[in-house]
Amino acid sequence: MVIKMNFEYSEKDENFRKEVKDWLDETLPKSLSEKVKKYQRLTKEDYEIFMNNLTAKGWLAWHWPKEYGGTGWNAIEKHIFEEEIIKASAPRIVPFGVNMLGPVLIEFGTEEQKNYYLPRILSNEDWWAQGYSEPGAGSDLASLKTTAVDKGDHYLVNGQKTWTTLGHHADKIFCLVKTDLNAKPQLGISFLLIDMDTPGVEVKPIITLDGEHEVNEVWFTNVKVPKKNIVGKENEGWTYAKYLLTFERTGIAGVPYSKSALNHLKMISKRSLKNGKPLIEDPIFSSEIAELEIDLLAMEIFNLRTVSAAAEGKAPGMESSLLKIKGTLVRQKTTELLRKALGPQALPYLPEQFDEGWNEMPVGPSYAGPIAKQYFNMRKISIYGGSNEIQKNIVAKASFGL
Amino acid sequence: MDFTLSEERKMLQETVGKFFNSNYKNIDKRSENVNLPEGYSKEFWKESSDLGVISALVSPKFGGLGGSGEDISIIFELVGKSLCVEPFLSSAVLSSTVLSSISNPRNDLITDIIEGNLLISFAHCEMNNRYEDHYIETNAHLKNDEWNINGTKSFVMNGDDASKIIVSARINGDVNDRDGIGLFLVDNDQTLKRPYNTIDGYRSTELTFENSKGELLAKDENALKCIIKANSAGALALSAEALGIMQICFDLTLDYLKTRKQFGKSIGAFQSIQHRMVDMMLEIEQVKSAVMLASSTFETDDLTRDKNISAAKNLVGRVGKLIAEETIQLHGGIAMTWEYSAAHYAKRLIMIDHLMGDSDYHRDRFKLLSNF
């Protein structure tokens, strides 16, 4: 059922929402959602607990068609599902295998690849990483330099990937590599599946400005990769890469994240004091919150308009880019106001409080600890997945005829 | 009109600049100092004293060699450029301002601070007083001719390593009264300490006073005047520090825009990027101007002093956010890493807005002092 102009979900959709919510209430361990709420560091096992539960329920492959073990959900159902798992403070579904590689294999993989890899993704047997960005190829991804040279029965891979999220947990990595060095940037690229155990693969941590380890560098030195590990045709990897990026952009506006941050902001603004009175009574600060809420309200409808159109089979075009830009700005604004609401309480930084089982007294209110760290960490969202500057280029190029 | 520094001040700027650079060579060196037990380098602090850097922050009337608004700005702009974590703000600005502004100035203690032999921290902030000068829950009462202090002070910079603490406490009245405030000197072995690092790499402490014995330094009108002056001096110092950081952020970003190549050219070749750099540049000029004005009126009447300092600190809060966020965004992923200095400059720049009054606080104070 499509969203009508009355802006309400159908009864069927509401029932679906209840089903998702009830299932999460029942199966998501409280200890895990507490960790997520407190921004504590998640272990590999933490992600796997949730993803194994999804596997058991048959909901892990929520972007896949039914015949491959997916849910076959339409865009509205996907939207509801995503909203509920974020509301429930579940760990995020690690997207690299199930949301990124899966759809590419379904569309472009050989029967052998589908039969081998898809079940392993569905059962969480393989943890995949994404090998796209390189030190010299960020916004200009097509200028990547990692090479794969044809050696008869295998490719010999040399180069370096970077910003590899959770790559330290990964068993396998899908990479964009250069197979034709003489071709123009976008033409000589291939899409290669590489086992992280192969000799010559090395993972080095990158510590981010908040002191955390989430991203990595992955180095390849004379790594032998079987020829059968190429996806699709040689030198046509760019097409598959772009196809994958359209999946990376689902839920890109992050509306449910911003909604929960807004509620958190209101709670903290009630508890923070300014001149002995709740900060939320300060007319200027509450006006800032109100304007943020208005931006978010509009963006939610913008997002639903896109979702609704997608459910009718209209693939989102530049809307994805617009939503990415606005979504990241709104989400960053929530982290900024949260930080401001705390005043000096935002200063203390106890890295050990993000470890599981930490139960000392925090400095100041318990909600204060992660706020400044989150503000700095969230600077990344307007950089990754195609920076906001690149999104603007995409929109301008696609829509203005200039 | 003359907007240039005097020859003496130019020399001060040059000497201190070289000294800071020789110690704070890079971000790893800073991390070393941050990770020392006291959260800063005692050796560097002592050398700063020997070179006269602390003295430059104190007026000749109290045994120093500087202490004007311009002196404070020159030193703190350099503190910002090197991101140095030594107790220049806590001991040399805040505490020495109080000790020189009380009715009977304590030159003895100020001299010890200047000579690098004594660290005194100013404990005014509390968990609930946000940025207010007068909202104080900590209390002091006389018992057998001795002042007993009770309460908890938060965000006390270098409060773990200081041997003495200047603490604001309520002698009488309600938490939110402007009267009835006292300032006391307390030996720091009489407090319970919970030290921690702040997210931008500075050492702070929660200090709990339980019938801690204090020596009365000032009370009522004089006490509040001292608190306001110390906080204003601190806000001026932080504004100048922020200016130094902004200049480094701008230089790092411009340098990166020239060297980073994407789409076959340096990313600085794109007009949309150039325009953002121009916005940053003009806002930094605005901050520089506001800091100059605030420095030049630091020794005039309290009203002019505070109004101009609030103008500077408000602008610093707003522009600081712009510069920190643009520095990260224009660099891209590299500025999200611990290894690269830009991230540390950006963090300090943002957190300066959480000390001595944020942009909202100083906007409100500017309105109040301007009789809006």
- pLDDT, residue A244, reads 82
- pLDDT, residue B196, reads 96
* Chain A residues inside the 8 Å CB shell of B333: 133, 138, 162-163, 380, 383-384
Cβ contact B183:B218 at 8 Å? yes
Asked if the domains A128-240 and A249-399 are classified in one and the same CATH topology, the answer is no
CA neighbor of A382 nearest in space, from A329, A334, A330? A329
Which B-chain residues 30-69 have CB contacts (< 8 A) with chain A? none
Inter-chain residue contact B333 with A383, CB threshold 8 Å = yes
Per cent of chain B over pLDDT 70 is 100
What's the CA gap between B203 and A257, in Å, rounded? 32
Cβ contact B290:B312 at 8 Å? yes
Span B170-213, pLDDT tens digits: 999 999 999 999 999 999 999 999 999 999 999 999 999 999 99
Residue A343 in contact with partner chain B when CB distance is under 8 A: yes
Distances (CA, A) of B138 to A41, A78, B174, B269, B355: 36, 54, 11, 57, 20
What's the CA gap between B56 and B74, in Å, rounded? 10
Burial class (CB in 10 A: 0-12, 13-18, 19+), B356: buried
Span B142-166, pLDDT tens digits: 999 999 999 999 999 999 999 999 9
Cβ contact A163:A141 at 8 Å? no
Q: Which residues contact B34 (CB under 8 A, 6 or more apart)?
A: B40, B85, B197, B201, B202
Closest Cα in chain B, distance from residue A28 (Å): 32
User: Minimal Cα distance from B128: which residue of A?
Assistant: A273
Choose the closest CB to A363 out of B132, B196, B360: B196
Instruction: Tell me the DSSP string of A188-229.
Output: SEEEEEEETTSTTEEEEEEEBTTS-EEEEEEEEEEEEEEGGG
Catalytically active residues of A, by annotation:
248
Which parts of chain A sit beneath pLDDT 70?
Answer: 1-6, 247-250
Determine the residue among A349, A353, A375, A382 to mutate to test chain B binding: the one whose Cβ has the most chain B Cβ atoms within 10 Å.
A349
pLDDT at residue B236 is higher than 60: yes
Inter-chain residue contact A209 with B155, CB threshold 8 Å = no
Beta strands, E only, chain B: 120-123, 139-143, 146-157, 164-170, 181-187, 191-197, 203-219, 261-262, 265-266
Residue B277 in contact with partner chain A when CB distance is under 8 A: no
Residue B351 in contact with partner chain A when CB distance is under 8 A: yes
**Both tokens of residue A87?**
């509301």
Inter-chain residue contact A275 with B135, CB threshold 8 Å = yes
Cβ contact A368:A346 at 8 Å? yes
* Chain B residues inside the 8 Å CB shell of A392: 272
| Fold designation for A128-240 | Butyryl-CoA Dehydrogenase, subunit A; domain 2 (2.40.110)
Inter-chain residue contact B130 with A384, CB threshold 8 Å = no
- pLDDT, residue A248, reads 52
Choose the closest CB to A372 out of B199, B325, B328: B199
Helix axes B220-259, B341-351, angle to 10 degrees: 150
Span B107-130, pLDDT tens digits: 999 999 999 999 999 999 999 999
Inter-chain residue contact B199 with A363, CB threshold 8 Å = no
Residue B352 parent element (H or E): none
What's the CA gap between A331 and A187, in Å, rounded? 36
**Both tokens of residue A373?**
């760290």
User: Minimal Cα distance from B201: which residue of A?
Assistant: A349
pLDDT at residue B348 is higher than 80: yes
**Both tokens of residue A2?**
């499509």
What φ, ψ does residue A137 adopt, rounded to 5°?
-135, 90
Cα-based angle B255, B260, B265 (whole degrees, multiple of 5): 115
**What is residue A21's DSSP assignment?**
H
CA neighbor of B40 nearest in space, from B158, B172, B214? B158
- pLDDT, residue A185, reads 83
CATH number of A249-399, picked from 1.20.140.10, 3.60.20.30, 3.40.228.10, 1.50.10.100: 1.20.140.10
A-B Cβ pairs (cutoff 8 Å, strict): 128
Cα-based angle A296, A39, A248 (whole degrees, multiple of 5): 55
* Chain B residues inside the 8 Å CB shell of A350: 196
Span B79-108, pLDDT tens digits: 999 999 999 999 999 999 999 999 999 999
Span B47-81, pLDDT tens digits: 999 999 999 999 999 999 999 999 999 999 999 99
Choose the closest CB to B196 out of A138, A207, A350: A350
- pLDDT, residue A279, reads 97
What's the CA gap between B199 and A376, in Å, rounded? 10
- pLDDT, residue A250, reads 58
Residue B347 in contact with partner chain A when CB distance is under 8 A: yes
Choose the closest CB to B347 out of A376, A382, A383: A376
Strand duo A128-131 + A172-178: pairing: parallel
User: How remote is the C-alpha of B47 from its chain's centroid?
Assistant: 20
User: Minimal Cα distance from A376: which residue of B?
Assistant: B347
User: Which domains are assigned to chain B?
Assistant: 7-114 (1.10.540.10), 120-219 (2.40.110.10), 225-369 (1.20.140.10)
Determine the residue among B27, B353, B354, B364 to mutate to test chain A binding: the one whose Cβ has the most chain A Cβ atoms within 10 Å.
B354
Inter-chain residue contact B344 with A389, CB threshold 8 Å = no
Inter-chain residue contact A138 with B332, CB threshold 8 Å = yes
Average pLDDT, chain B: 96
Residue A206 in contact with partner chain B when CB distance is under 8 A: yes
Choose the closest CB to A207 out of B135, B337, B346: B337
Which B-chain residues 299-328 have CB contacts (< 8 A) with chain A? 321, 325, 328
**Both tokens of residue B263?**
């789409």
What's the CA gap between B207 and A369, in Å, rounded? 19
Per-domain residue ranges for chain A?
11-93, 128-240, 249-399
What's the CA gap between A127 and A131, in Å, rounded? 13
Choose the closest CB to A379 out of B130, B261, B328: B328
